[in-house]
């Protein structure tokens, strides 16, 4: 097979490449990495590839692909006019097959292991705080994780560190504005072309602007709503689109959309109504999405953590909630940030703030069970109890 016969183009159809990646993954192995035709440097490596003729109509292309893969276990699938898909049981295995085409470096490829071995998971807002803690816990258990954040430099730094610790290529950073539809779609497209699909989308990115009715500006209220509420809809819209394609090729496969909500989504929050309102609304979205997506084996749940009192959201000396709440007078008699922290610790029956490992137990429950959807699970040390 020659590059000339493959008719690869410098500009390829991203939507088609994404759709075929999802189909190939569901019909073959857990990880599929796409290599654009323009990046192929070793033409001789194409000799082992399964060749797929291009079709204009996507439904016809799916049919040709599915028929070609019946009884076949290829390492490479080459699609005319598009590129090549490297297939593996692990990300490292797929990357090593990619390296044969691009003259890149190979890496160690241990067997898959861990509670979420080779699962593909996006965590938004994961450059720091709860999101970073969740991402690392998932990688400890074998997942391939996308560190998605507006602060892309910090995301890249942490993705590199996590990959060095848990396996080359198992984390990568993506710049994303979760309140922008084009940005979210691009993030999901990049995830699929890198890993092959999407098993869980953890919508963690959020923002807080505290203040009384007199102090709150419409600008800040709109900002909180845009990031905490509107963005959850945008993320669920594009995540479910690719998950539905996976369901088409493997109807028994379960997937998850998990919103990291808050205890403030369960109980109102004094002088923090913009945040609480956005989180209450998020639970309404969770319940509604769950009903719509359950036919596709897509579970949708919210996890409602208590306060991560040791995280940057609270502790940042300039923008942290301790500082905001002190300035807003939310804690009567508080003179310092330390007074505010002590006040919030005392509100928790278990006498401490929530931690990423606490949240992970709820996330794993959402992912591993197959008979629950549309729930809001409190993880608050007893501060909030279901009614």
Distance CA 61, CA 67 (A): 10
C-alpha dihedral (316, 322, 324, 329), degrees to nearest 10: -160
> Does residue 354 sit in the same domain as residue 217?
yes
374, 286 Cβ separation under 8 angstroms? yes
Structure tokens at 354: 């929530």
> Does residue 79 sit in the same domain as residue 138?
no
Task: Give pLDDT, residue 253.
Answer: 98
Structure tokens at 325: 């709440």
Q: For residue 30, what is the DSSP state? A: S
> Does residue 93 sit in the same domain as residue 140?
no
The domain tally of the chain equals: 2
Distance CA 296, CA 376 (A): 20
Distance CA 33, CA 89 (A): 11
Range of the domain at 73: 3-102
Structure tokens at 219: 């600008």
Per residue in 263-295, pLDDT (tens digit) is 999 999 998 999 999 999 999 999 999 999 999
> Looking at 85, 166, 238, 275, which residue is catalytic?
275
Predicted TM-score (pTM) above 0.85: yes
- In a 10 Å sphere around its CB, with 0-12 CB exposed, 13-18 middle and 19+ buried, how is residue 237 labelled? middle
Per residue in 139-196, pLDDT (tens digit) is 999 999 999 999 999 999 999 999 999 999 999 999 999 999 999 999 999 999 999 9
325 given a catalytic annotation: no
> 142: alpha, beta or left, given left = phi > 0 and alpha = psi -120 to 50?
left
> Does residue 163 sit in the same domain as residue 268?
yes
149, 130 Cβ separation under 8 angstroms? no
Q: Is residue 167 part of a domain?
A: yes
Under DSSP, is residue 28 helix (H, G, I), strand (E, B) or coil?
A: coil
């Amino acid at each position: 097979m020659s590059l000339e016969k493959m008719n690869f183009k410098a500009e390829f159809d991203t939507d088609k490449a994404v759709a075929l990646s999802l189909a190939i993954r569901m019909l073959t192995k857990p990880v599929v990495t796409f290599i654009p035709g323009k990046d192929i440097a070793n033409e001789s490596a194409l000799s082992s590839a399964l060749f797929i003729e291009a079709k204009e109509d996507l439904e016809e292309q799916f049919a040709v692909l599915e028929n070609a893969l019946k009884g076949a276990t290829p390492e490479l699938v080459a699609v005319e006019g598009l590129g090549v898909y490297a297939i593996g049981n692990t990300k490292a295995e797929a990357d090593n097959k990619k390296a044969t085409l691009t003259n890149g470096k190979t890496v160690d490829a241990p067997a898959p292991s861990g509670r979420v071995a080779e699962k593909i998971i996006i965590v938004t807002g994961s450059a720091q705080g709860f999101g970073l803690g969740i991402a690392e816990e998932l990688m400890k258990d074998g997942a391939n994780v996308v560190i998605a954040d507006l602060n892309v430099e910090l995301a890249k730094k942490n993705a590199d560190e996590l990959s060095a610790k848990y396996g080359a290529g198992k984390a990568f950073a993506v710049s994303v504005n979760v309140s922008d539809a084009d940005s979210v779609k691009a993030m999901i497209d990049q995830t699929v072309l890198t890993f092959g699909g999407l098993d869980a989308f953890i919508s963690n990115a959020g923002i807080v602007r505290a203040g009384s009715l007199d102090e709150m500006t419409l600008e800040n209220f709109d900002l909180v709503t845009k990031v905490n509420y509107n963005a959850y809809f945008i993320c669920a819209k594009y995540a479910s689109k690719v998950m539905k394609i996976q369901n088409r090729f493997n109807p028994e496969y379960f997937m998850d959309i998990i919103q990291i909500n808050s205890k403030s989504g369960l109980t109102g929050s004094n002088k923090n109504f913009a945040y609480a309102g956005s989180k209450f609304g998020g639970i309404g979205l969770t319940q509604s999405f769950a009903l719509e997506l359950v036919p596709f084996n897509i579970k949708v749940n919210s996890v409602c953590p208590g306060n991560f009192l040791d995280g940057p959201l609270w502790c940042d000396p300039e923008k942290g909630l301790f500082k905001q709440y002190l300035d807003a007078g939310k804690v009567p008699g508080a003179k310092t940030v330390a007074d505010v922290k002590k006040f919030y610790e005392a509100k928790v029956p278990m006498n401490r703030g929530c931690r990423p490992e606490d949240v992970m137990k709820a996330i794993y429950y959402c992912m591993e069970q197959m008979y629950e959807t549309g729930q809001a699970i409190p993880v608050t040390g007893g501060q909030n109890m279901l009614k």
